[in-house]
Amino acid sequence: MTLIASLSLVAAAAAEEGHNPLIPFMVAGIAFAVFLLLGIVTWSYRDVANRTTRGRNASSHNGTSHDAHSAGH
């Protein structure tokens, strides 16, 4: 059963019984967990562009490009 299906089942059961005050807190908790997970994923990609350019500069043989090398190298 998917998350949306289970949430709709809980919401339907709550609608039959009357208003359940815990539903808004459950939705808020799920939204908080999703945003927290997305924040962690975003945080894990910090400084990737800088690391990539530093890696290219470090591996380019002391700042010289491949065009400057002789053909026999």
User: In angstroms, rounded to a whole number, what is the distance separating the alpha carbons of residues 2 and 15?
Assistant: 20
When comparing pLDDT for 41 and 6, which is higher? Answer: 41
Number of independent structural domains in the chain: 1
Q: State CA 5 to chain mean position distance.
A: 24
pLDDT in tens, 51-66: 777 666 655 555 555 5
> How confident is residue 33, by pLDDT bands cut at 50, 70 and 90?
very high
Give residue 28's domain range: 21-45
Q: What pLDDT was estimated at residue 40?
A: 95
pTM over 0.75: no
Has residue 40 been placed in a domain?
A: yes
